[in-house]
A and B are shown apart, each in its own frame.
Chain A
Amino acid sequence: MAKPFLSIERLTQQFPDGAGGTLTVFENASFGVEKGEFVCILGHSGCGKSTIMNILAGLAEPTSGVVKMDGMHVSGPSLDRGVVFQNYSLLPWLSALKNVTFGVSARHKGWSKAKVEEHARAYLAMVGLEGDVVHRKPSQLSGGMRQRVSIARAFANQPKLLLLDEPFGALDALTRGTIQDELIKVWSQTEQTVFMITHDIDEAILLADRILLMTNGPLARVAESVDITIPRPRNRTEIVEHPNYYAIRNHLVQFLGQRSKDLAGHGSDGQDQRPETVHIDKAAHAEADVDIEPEGAHLRAVND
């Protein structure tokens, strides 16, 4: 099997537990992301999603294991991996436009000022920010607008991998919907590889090609990889009509409600822990509800 574009190999993260021992967040976690793929990772709080994200971003070092992108080891942060943080992380003393040009000029050091600004404006326009709004400081923008700027900043740098850490977590439902649509629009125009953390099942189904499901921590693992067998372009009002929608959704709800607990807390016994691929496609073969295909050599039985 060819190596995927982004390959996470036997990643282990341990922290001191404050009582002299160590707390293993996850152990020997392995999975891959293909080029141009939109992958969401779902799991309860404390399962280590953000830790994985920080390792991918290069902001944290794993206890052991490696991350390879394009066959190269990832170590330290890089412009090849753009990050959209949950709290936007805009620089408050810069205008929206300057926040984006800040990133663009870091990426393209040789560009003229005018070219940097033009590029930045183009990406701000993609997320619906045009005109005088771009000269406002983040404090003068609504939460939704701030996150749009943050998304524009990340996309404008055209990183090989875009990491989104619960980007819509702090937004109200209506704004969330609008920005999700904008994210899809930008993503479909740029064909970026995206890895996104979310808490929201519907958001994950709407956006992702594939959803990784994480069990509860400690000793969490990426247990399943669920293909989203709903064709694009997707629309939030239409996808609920698709026969696969509720099948997938129910599977995810059951996982988060029950199996994430059942599967939690097992050590890896030194084994490489790869997620099982779950392919649910009621539309293709009406008789087969759930079709589980092994992805890796080491499989665990699904005990539900």
Chain B
Amino acid sequence: MIRNFDARSALLSVLILISGLAIWHFATHVPETGPVGVVLSAEQTDTLLGNNMAAEDIEFYASQGVAFPQLEQIAALNLSRETIEMAGGIRALGISVPDANSAPAPGSLFPSPAKIGVELWATITDPFYVAGTNDMGFGIQIGYSLLRVIIGYTLAAAVAIPLGFLIGMSPLAYKALDPYIQVLKPISPLAWMPIALFTIGDSELSSIFVIFICSLWPMLSNTAFGVASVRSDWVNVARTHELGTLRTALTVILPAAAPTIVTGMRISIGIAWLVIVAAEMLVGGTGIGYVVWNEWNGLRLDRMIVAILLIGVMGMLLDAAFARLQRAVSYVE
């Protein structure tokens, strides 16, 4: 039954994908209208044939929108179509074609799924090329973003988890620090950016600082809450076994609070990944967030969409890693 259920849900997912792509395709698809053909009268055709022009050439140029006077000029050249094409086409030979007839109808500016697919494949097959400061493989750009997130996040964890532990173990500290946490937590991480840029100066360090500050609060408040709400029975078990403070913290409180702490870590990594894109748009230079902004400025929407897709996939992978960690530390009471 479960196998069956999995298969059914997978099938449904694929169907949703296909219909999504189909809607996208038809929304961006413009039929190839091409140049408006010219209809020749019987006498005109006869004249051209009389001028030694091949019937199929007449038909071809007429369909390309070349009008009768120009056709006469072509016929006067007395060259085969092959030769004309080798010489660079009729325009190269000084025969003008009315613009209204030759300009193709404008297609959609928004890239079609097929175009995205081509770009995505190019990215997957060569993710690490470097062709210049503004033209690097998305693998490298994601790497920059990931590195910033990891540095900022690790620093935040190194501060938030021990500090949260202390706050959680001391009801006094919990109550005294709670107002600060509650005020600082809802501040958008990007609001810290000007302060960071002013005090730190360096844009690279500033974006790491922003990641640090946005990862800090969920981990801090979850750790403090998790530690403070460890069941007193379990703490009593530690007490009746004469465990010292450190051993109690490590062998009883940490495993008891671990699910709550890891939940905080999972929320933090999600926020950090959201924020890095915005921060990189702001400070520029490198990173996947910068790529989105740069491709938008260059109107390479296909590359921009591929970058956006990669942001989503990377975020999902980060979340899945923490979900796995969460399963590892969870317990049933």
Report A's interface with B, CB cutoff 8 A: 57-59, 76-79, 81-83, 85, 87, 89, 91-94, 102-103, 106-107, 137, 139, 157
Contact = CB atoms under 8 A, between A and B. Distances in A.
A82 B125 CA distance: 65
Given A59-B240, A89-B233, A137-B332, 5 more contacts: A57-B240, A76-B239, A79-B242, A106-B241, A137-B331
Given A83-B236, A85-B233, A93 B241 contact: no
What is the predominant secondary structure among interface residues of chain B facing chain A?
helix
A102 B241 CA distance: 9
A79 B240 CA distance: 6
A87 B255 contact: no
A107 B243 CA distance: 10
Nearest to A79: B242
18 contacts: A58-B239, A59-B236, A77-B240, A78-B240, A79-B242, A81-B240, A83-B236, A83-B240, A85-B236, A85-B237, A87-B233, A91-B237, A92-B332, A93-B329, A102-B241, A102-B251, A103-B241, A107-B241
Nearest to B231: A89
Pick the 3 closest A-B CB pairs, nearest first: A139-B332, A106-B241, A93-B331
Contacts of B236: 57, 59, 77, 83, 85, 89
Contacts of A82: 240
B234 interface: yes
B56 interface: no
A103 B243 CA distance: 10
Contacts of A81: 240
A37 to B, nearest CB: 21
B256 to A, nearest CB: 7
Contacts of A59: 236, 239-240
Nearest to B332: A139
B84 interface: no
Nearest to B254: A93
Contacts of A83: 236, 240
Nearest to A106: B241
B242 A106 contact: yes
B252 interface: yes
Interface of B: 233-234, 236-237, 239-243, 251-252, 255-256, 258, 329, 331-333
A87 B231 CA distance: 12
Nearest to B333: A92
Contacts of B258: 93
A98 to B, nearest CB: 10
Nearest to B237: A89
B252 A91 contact: yes
Contacts of B240: 57-59, 77-79, 81-83
A92 B331 contact: yes
Given A139-B331, A139-B332, A89 B239 contact: no
A92 B332 CA distance: 6
A57 B239 CA distance: 10
Contacts of A157: 241
B239 A77 contact: yes
A77 B252 CA distance: 16
A77 B243 CA distance: 10
Contacts of B329: 93
A291 B236 CA distance: 41
Contacts of B255: 91, 93-94
Contacts of A102: 241, 251
A79 B242 CA distance: 6
Instruction: Pick from B233, B239, B241, B252 the residue with the most CB of A within 10 Å.
Output: B241
Nearest to B329: A93
B252 to A, nearest CB: 7
Contacts of A57: 236, 240
A69 to B, nearest CB: 14
Nearest to A80: B242
A280 B252 CA distance: 47
Contacts of A58: 239-240
Contacts of A76: 239
A157 to B, nearest CB: 8
A59 B242 CA distance: 11
